């Protein structure tokens, strides 16, 4: 909630209890992005879509958003059994319980695992969201952060090229811009891998 300005309070134009809701647009300090739903639909409709890190905060939201555009099938990958189970149950309950969905428990740094999934399910598009994202944890565990964030990206990129996927989309972060921490540096490294292999 937004309180009145100091000028309004001191002049008596407003009371301290006259609160107003805050619009998200006021916090953005930019124009609201408008998505071309037709373009997104053309991109995802009747495609076999894979999401790595599907049980995480970003991956699970991607799953829900993508379902709105009628993909042929979702293949969800996560290394957390609990998170993978949770997103699977959520999709079954809140969307179509008969929707074709495959839950694959495993590590996105494992090239044989990723390659076999891309091959078996004839993946068209992969959204690579598998990454460690919590800055303090990655700062305390830099080797794990580098290994997971960098090598999972390399693995997914190489498997995408090998299996002729139509698109590979890396989910990155603003912290990759002029990184000041390990997590940001790993995501910037991931971006550079994607850029170099995209050519």
> CA 4 from chain center: how many Å?
37
Assess contact for 182 and 146: CB atoms under 8 A: yes
Do the Cβ atoms of 77 and 51 come closer than 8 Å?
A: yes
Residue 187 annotated in active site: no
CA 181 to chain centre: 20
Candidates 80, 32, 73, 41; CA nearest to 57 is 80
Q: What distance in Å separates the CA atoms of residue 126 and residue 145, rounded to the nearest whole number?
A: 21
- Identified catalytic residue from 47, 104, 133, 175: 175
Residues with catalytic function: 175
């Amino acid at each position: 909630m937004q309180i009145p300005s100091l000028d309004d309070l001191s002049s008596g134009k407003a009371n301290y209890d006259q609160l107003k809701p805050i619009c998200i647009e006021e916090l953005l300090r930019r124009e609201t992005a408008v998505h071309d739903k037709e373009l997104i639909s053309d991109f995802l409709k009747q495609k076999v879509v894979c999401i790595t890190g599907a049980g995480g905060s970003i991956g699970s939201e991607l799953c829900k958003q993508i379902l709105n555009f009628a993909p042929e099938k979702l293949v969800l990958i996560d290394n957390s059994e609990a998170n993978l189970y949770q997103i699977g149950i959520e999709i079954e309950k809140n969307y179509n319980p008969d929707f074709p969905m495959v839950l694959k428990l495993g590590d996105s740094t494992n090239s044989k695992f990723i390659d076999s999934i891309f091959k078996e399910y004839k993946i068209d598009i992969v959204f690579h969201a598998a990454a460690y994202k919590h800055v303090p944890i990655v700062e305390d565990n830099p080797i794990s952060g580098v290994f997971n964030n960098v090598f999972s990206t390399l693995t997914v990129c190489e498997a995408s090229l090998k299996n002729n996927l139509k698109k590979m989309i890396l989910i990155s972060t603003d912290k990759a811009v002029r990184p000041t921490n390990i997590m940001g540096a790993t995501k910037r490294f991931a971006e550079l891998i994607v850029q170099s292999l995209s050519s």
